[in-house]
Chain A
């Protein structure tokens, strides 16, 4: 049975090519793969499309990549807490696609589950539905939303076993398990790697078939 590849952060980050679409887990910096993002800074990959709820904080997490002009496009739900995003957007250096948070995570879930698109009443009749196909279903106006996929997902978990099974910690779980399903290559940064069999099967949130690479974070 193939185990997940265990790499250091720099080797893992080199799997992200110029122009790649990446998903990055985390709600703000909580549950964000900060060491993988630091390695991605060092790797030099550019023209990235980033699917993530936020773009970190000023100069931290994805915010550091943004300052270096490495992110061309961002898809997410809440960017106003990082003033650098507002500035980059106004300067025409960053294309931003704003989606309701629930629509975003459902689009990622759909991407991972083989569902190409879905209808939702969220955002119907608002500016965020402009240009999108709509139809009435069961009496309510709904918006057609397309699934999201990525070339690489950079996620954060608490522990992995050598197969790549993952367990998480509290609200640091957030988008990570969903993103693990929707990318060609899934790289998980974890606090600790243990032997297969050491994680309780009842507690595993992300089964190993979703995980390609595991990186143990430095303490």
Chain B
């Protein structure tokens, strides 16, 4: 049985393969930011952080922390060669103006059409949204990384959202520890099963209807 952090790292590694070399990528707080900690990520993509940097690098070594250099999760980072700084207005013009190639976001639920709930948990006060809705509206491509099941064991891929929707826009790809799902013309299409995962196991953990790509051998 693999640990929770193993699972999350596996999802991050698989999501990294979805990022075209040289692309401009914004990583949501949480699981998506694990991608930035993978050494391969540094050479592959340019990481944009909405608080005002393009070219965010890995965490600094101990003793080399610069208090004026943080990521969107407010944790210390470094700046890669060729990095630039800018204000929040320009940063969100990049996001909302379609200049970010890929946003990788976490989600609480994804519905049958690939729309996501990613910001508000019912029963808890709705007091935080950050840049989640801006990224959903404006990024050219949105990849969701999430564990396949919620903490209570219920599927996150559901027919209809029961949690508040983040945008009318459907995401493009969903990566979980069980597989990779594309959203094609408003429908979920299973593109890939993770190693060792059967179609039956995937289906029983999924509450949304989905199609199966021809590339998956039956």
B92 closest partner in A (C-beta): A102
Give Cα A109–Cα B129 distance, bound, in whole angstroms: 19
Contact A27 to B51, CB < 8 A, known contacts A89-B125, A177-B89: yes
B66:A78 contact, CB within 8 angstroms: no
The prevalent SS among residues of A at the interface is mixed
Check: B88 CB closer than 8 A to any chain A CB: yes
In this assembly, does A115 line the interface, its C-beta being within 8 Å of a C-beta of chain B?
A: no
Partner of A174, one of B51, B67, B126, B164: B51
Which residues 56-105 of B have a CB within 8 angstroms of A? 66-70, 72, 74, 79, 85-89, 91-92, 95-96
A89 and B79 within 8 A (CB): no
Smallest Cβ-Cβ distance to A123: which chain B residue: B133
Chain B contact-residue range equals: 35 or more
Which chain A positions have C-beta within 8 A of B79?
170
Q: How far is the CA of A109 from the CA of B74 in the complex (A)?
A: 23
Q: Which of B89-146 contact A (CB under 8 A)?
A: 89, 91-92, 95-96, 120, 125-134, 136-138
Closest to B97 in A: A102
Q: Are A98's CB and B52's CB within 8 A? A: no
8 Å CB contacts to B: which residues of A165-193?
Answer: 168-178
Stretch at the interface among B6-14, B165-173, B209-217: B165-173
A101 touches B137 (CB 8 A): no
A77 contacts B87, C-beta separation under 8 Å: no
Query: Smallest Cβ distance from B164 to chain A, in angstroms?
Result: 5
Q: Give chain A interface residues in 81-117, CB to chain B under 8 Å.
A: 81, 85-86, 89-90, 96, 98-103, 105-106, 108-109
| Cβ-defined partner of A80 (8 Å) among B52, B89, B127 | B127
Residues of B contacting A31 in the complex (Cβ-Cβ under 8 angstroms): 68
Main SS class of interface, B: loop
Is A77 within 8 A of B68, CB to CB? no
Q: Is the CB of B92 within 8 A of A171?
A: no
Q: Find chain B residues with CB under 8 A from A121 CB.
A: 137-138
Q: Which residues of B contact A53 (CB under 8 A)?
A: 88
Tell me, rounded to whole Å, the shortest Cβ–Cβ distance linking B100 to chain A. 11
Most A-side CB within 10 Å, residue of B72, B87, B92, B136: B87
Name the residue of chain A whose CB is nearest to the CB of B126.
A98
Separation of A122 and B131 alpha carbons in the complex (Å): 10
* B50 at interface by CB-CB < 8 Å: yes
A120 nearest in chain B by CB position = B96
Checking B69, B91, B127 against A89 with a beta-carbon cut-off of 8 angstroms, the contacting residue is: B127
CB neighbours (8 Å) of A175 from chain B are 87-88
Task: Kindly identify, within residues 182 to 218 of chain B, every residue whose CB is under 8 Å from any CB belonging to chain A.
Answer: none
Cβ A100 vs Cβ B87 within 8 A? no
10 further A-B contacts with Cβ under 8 Å, apart from A78-B128, A108-B89, are A28-B70, A30-B51, A98-B128, A99-B129, A100-B134, A102-B96, A127-B120, A169-B68, A171-B52, A174-B87
Between-chain CB contacts (< 8 Å), 30 pairs:
A31-B68, A77-B129, A78-B130, A86-B127, A90-B125, A98-B127, A99-B129, A100-B129, A101-B88, A101-B129, A102-B95, A108-B89, A121-B137, A122-B96, A123-B167, A124-B137, A125-B168, A126-B133, A126-B165, A126-B167, A128-B129, A140-B168, A170-B52, A170-B53, A170-B69, A171-B69, A172-B67, A174-B51, A175-B87, A177-B89
